[in-house]
Structure 1
């Protein structure tokens, strides 16, 4: 397996756990700071399509920006996927983390069972 892309916010406790999990299981990865090198709208759209998840799963719903910008209401009002990805691309703090991108899969959030199935 080629190295996976690991998008993280290093201060995030869940990202720290995920990083330790990757290291403990000898998973080869390239780390990318989700705020300093925020994903583009094009990347997010591709990952969304590859993941098979609803676009709202890519939002950090517990984040301050999510609440300040009233993103839930925008999504509930019928925001299109392209618009949602453009919004996510504006600020890495809006994006759920960690994200792992492999050749044929995308994992959003840290769920050990899911990660074991896809990465081991």
Structure 2
């Protein structure tokens, strides 16, 4: 099952949810502002994150700038604790299932959550359309 971590005012979150609905992909949604991630949940997300903590943090966020923290200089437990206590610093949406993690909204990259047979059919359709 796909879980999507969102925030109410997040345009990218709305686009991702709309994309999942259009593709008839069921998901569980979690509003991280009203129900922040636990330390264990942040660690679970980080386990799937190829680029480390920096890829989770929204560096353009004013609150992140006001923290004046270099996450690369912190211990893992310090960084995870700050993230858990301040969900507004996270890039959103965070979409994950048992195998994949995607942060932010990118229509091409979110296609990884389509079942393989659907991706193959869509790719074949795109190739056919390009050939015409």
Q: The TM-score by the shorter chain falls in which range?
A: 0.7 to 0.9
The corresponding residue for 2:15 is: 17
Return the TM-score normalized by structure 1. 0.87
Structure number with the bigger relative contact order (C-alpha 8 A, sep ≥ 6) is 1
Answer yes or no: is the 8 Å Cα contact 2:3–2:96 preserved in 1.
yes
Gap runs ≥5 in structure 1: none
Q: 2:47 — aligned with what?
A: 49
Does the Cα contact within 8 Å between 1:8 and 1:33 map onto a contact in 2? yes
Large movers: runs of 4+ above 6 Å: none
Matched, 1:81 2:87: no
Equivalent position to 2:93, from 76, 84, 98: 98
CA deviation vs aligned residue, 1:38-97 (integer Å, no higher than 9, x gap): 1112111111112222111111212121011113xx225x21232211110012101111
Equivalent residue runs for 1:50-69 within 5 Å: 50-69=48-67
| Aligned-residue RMSD, C-alpha | 1.4
Q: Is the CA contact (8 Å cut-off) linking 1:45 and 1:82 kept in structure 2?
A: no
Distance (whole Å) between structure 2 residues aligned to residue 61 and residue 119 of structure 1 = 29
Choose 1 or 2 for highest CA Rg: 2
Higher helix content, 1 or 2: 2
Question: Do the aligned residues in 1 keep the contact of 2:53 with 2:71 (CA within 8 Å)?
Answer: no
Deviation at 1:21, TM superposition (A): 0.8
In structure 1, distance between residues paired with 2:102 and 2:71: 21
Alignment correspondent of 1:108? 103
Structure 1 residues 75, 51: CA separation in 2 closer, same or farther (over 3 Å shift)? closer
Q: TM-score, normalised by structure 2?
A: 0.79
Unaligned runs of 5+ in 2: 116-132
User: How many residues are treated as equivalent by the alignment?
Assistant: 115
